[in-house]
Amino acid sequence: MIIKGYFTGLTPAEKVYLISHPQYISIIRENTNKSFNISRKKFPNLRRHNDRGDAFRHCYWAALLARDIGYHNAKKFTTAHENYSLNPSKERAMDLYNNNIGLEVGRKKKDISDVILIQKCLNSLNLGELKFKLPSKGEGYKMFSN
């Protein structure tokens, strides 16, 4: 059963995925909310768009999904999330990269706790394994690893 409001703000590719995998709708929604909430708590002073908080959120979200719906389903959905025409190619590449780090974190153990996933994604961020952008005067954005 599709509940009104679940598809608001989703890319066409995400909608197609969810229509063909309705059993994952509530899990994906819950994990999406969880990743946003934890990102806000861990990075309260950041915009969380293309910055450290955003990199962490993508990693954590993908890790949760890989753990809860399996690596391949999580990979399909996180890729669908980035697949829309207005998503700048460099941002898409950065987000897919951070998602892939999270997918690997989450695929290793099915019984891994949220707390451990958070710590592993924070470690990836602090070790420079995640990518994010910082503004630079006159040049738009430059991509940085930590």
User: 24: which 2 tokens?
Assistant: 């994952």
- Mind listing the pLDDT tens digit for each residue in 52-81? 999 999 999 999 999 999 999 999 999 999
- Sequence-separated (6 or more) residues with CB below 8 Å from residue 121: 56, 59, 60, 63, 101, 102, 105, 130
User: 1: which 2 tokens?
Assistant: 């059963």
- Mind listing the pLDDT tens digit for each residue in 5-58? 566 788 899 999 999 999 999 999 999 999 999 999 999 876 667 789 999 999
pTM: predicted TM-score of the whole model, two decimal places: 0.86
